[in-house]
Amino acid sequence: MYIFGIADPHTLGENEFILEKQLLEGTGIELRTYSCYSEEDVIKQMAECDYCGVVSVPFTRRVIENLPKCKGIFRYGIGVDNIDLQAASENGIAVCYEPKYCVEDVAALGFALLLGLSRKTVLLDRNIRKGLWGFKAGYESHRLQGKVLGLLGFGNIGKRLREMVKIFDMQVIAYDPFLSDQEAQQYHINKVKLNQLLEQSDFLSVHCPLTEETRHMLSEEQFKIMKPTAHLINTSRGGIVDTQALVEALRNKEICGAALDVHEKEPVPADHPLCQMEQVILTPHSGFYTEEAFITLRENIVKQVAALSKEEKPIYIINPQVLESRNPKAL
């Protein structure tokens, strides 16, 4: 009997995990849930687990080296910045994730935020609730037609957002060091350098992973390059944007507005300066969530756990080399 433990089930909402239990029935894998909020919690509670599911609690080197039975770590989501991949690989532990379950959903939220900034829907709604009536409130509203949408990163979500905005006849440009000329031509976008992206974008949408190279990729220097009429949209990872630099850029009118679904510190404190800015839209790291996406995520994670338990290769494994080593813990 194997044990599949979910470290932080509270982050997946009210959930009895009936779907997971049904899918694991007859596989020889028992599902257990824990209440982990820190490294120490994981080490103390999950030492017995053969497979570990995680949303946001950190799986650092210290954690990984103190999970003696762990054969696989399964990230409920796309990004794996809370998992030490090198430590996992060195210890023969497979790291799996689900990179496609919410592509449509995150792109749709990015699209909604784009429209929200352009048409000031959130600001006007707030004003009516305060008893204020007037279409001229706040910053100027402009058509999207003819405007430049800049994509910082051009993965699955960036590609889907590009398809969604076709109806508005926007010019789409992208910066991504892994973007080939052939792919740029296929998606009818202009491939540009980072500074060109910053200089030309009317709306800059972030779609890159959080790594040491991308942390605070958008900071004081970058905001000074952008148009004073430009808007920032971030549905990727909060750490890519230097929050304090963004606050100052908005205060100094170096850029016009921002829409953020992800934040450096979550939850965002109610007294944070961004909460007081009428030109800012804030959502609670919710881009991944629709009921359809949640079902797909949960199904595919459990299927990957079952595959690994049968010494099969999971469909979305980040470090497949551990399965090829002579004595992988994953097998």
- The set of catalytic residues is 237, 266, 285
Question: Taking each helix axis from N to C terminus, what angle separates 121-129 and 103-119, rounded to the nearest 10 degrees?
Answer: 60
CA–CA gap between residue 308 and residue 328 (Å, rounded): 12
Which residues 6+ apart lie within 8 Å of 288 measured at CB? 77, 78, 101, 102, 105, 106, 297
User: Which structure tokens are listed for 196?
Assistant: 């060109």
User: Which structure tokens are listed for 216?
Assistant: 């605070």
CA–CA gap between residue 329 and residue 190 (Å, rounded): 45
CA–CA gap between residue 156 and residue 104 (Å, rounded): 9
Q: Which amino acid is at 183?
A: E
Closest CA to 114 of 12, 3, 202: 202
Phi, psi of 156 (to 5 degrees): -60, -40
Which residues 6+ apart lie within 8 Å of 178 measured at CB? none
Are 267 and 261 spatial neighbours (Cβ–Cβ below 8 Å)?
no
Taking the CA atoms of 104, 109, 110 and 114 in sequence, report the sign of the dihedral they define: positive
CA–CA gap between residue 130 and residue 278 (Å, rounded): 13
